[in-house]
Amino acid sequence: MTEFLIIDGSYGEGGGQILRSSLSLSAITGRPVRIENLRANRNKPGLAAQHLTSVRAAAMLCSAEMKGAELGSQALQFIPRTPVRSGDYFLDVAQAREGGSSGAAMLVLQTLLLPLALTTGVSTVTLRGGTHVNMSPSYDYVHDVWLPTLARMGMNVELSLVRSGWYPVGQGQVKLRIMEAGKLLPLRLEHRGALVAVTGRALAANLPAHICERMASHARDLLEQAGISAEIEAVVLKAACPGAGLYLTAHYENCLAGFSAQGKRGKPAEQVAEEACSALLYHYRSGAALEQHLADQLILPAALCRDESMLGIERISSHIVTNAWVVERFGLARIDIAPAADGTGVIKILANR
């Protein structure tokens, strides 16, 4: 294919997800893309370090030719030259910018995972960067929520944490092993069933143990007041710089849901616990199967299934609508988003045949 698919990066929420989804789908389909107005709705438009690393990562998989692959670029041409190849890959977000970066390694992983799972053979990926940073899924979320849900679709992926990485230094590291998935299975997650358990980790890197212990204790108390018991582990870690956060997983009969909050200087541990528990309780009281972030991250794999997927969701965000738009621009699936009066909704995803 030589004709470019033009993607407007200012559409909808106008952030980095348009780039990542476009890169993954371009690598999978072999279709060249030109993405304009990259991250137009962000305070600093254009490619930041983590986005540039995602571009380089996708290019490695399919020997892509690129134009505009540089920091700050607001337009990118991406032309796959070969089918996606399995192999051993290494990427460091810090290499994308002089002075380093704590850019989110998990978002780079998000770009790579689906193309590698759908090719033949086994791949290993080592990623360095931020593993627990704001505005991105944490290592805990990917390991405890996203990957187990993808396993239900037929993906076999192993993820391990070598060391954690926090803002502003990063330098965390994860290792990924991706097996060939074959045919993807659809998801029917309209009803979550009963809440079975809540688990979690309160993490403190290069900080006193009482910080993670206070986060864990306060979170347990808050959830107990709502009639929910929780097993939350307090863990002290070593890292390149201090950091703290609370990461919770709600285990329902039919699905998983993840919630988190990040600490920062001057922010009490108890406030971190309150933010994470508030998100969990919002989802719990909504009655919906999926929290908005997981639903968003399931749209691409569901679009590549032969049969219809159906996802019940706590809230239809602009992020979800935007991601659905990217998939439909590639002509891969028809996505119907039906909001309910109470703010919840249902997403139906059926691949075009």
Active site amino acids: 319
Q: CB of 112 within 8 A of CB of 68?
A: no
d(C-alpha 119, C-alpha 37), whole Å: 30
How many other CB atoms are there within 10 angstroms of residue 350's CB atom?
18
d(C-alpha 159, C-alpha 125), whole Å: 9
d(C-alpha 312, C-alpha 285), whole Å: 14
Sign for the pseudo-dihedral over CA of 71, 73, 79, 85 = positive
Bridge partners of residue 262, in order along the sequence: 245
Q: Buried b vs exposed e over 51-86: b needs ≥16 C-beta within 10 Å?
A: bbbbbbbbbbbbebeeebbeeebbebbbbbeeebbb
Rounded to the nearest 10 degrees, the angle between the axes of helix 16-29 and helix 105-117 is: 20
Which of 326, 339, 249 minimizes the C-alpha distance to 293? 249
Rounded to the nearest 10 degrees, the angle between the axes of helix 49-62 and helix 105-117 is: 20
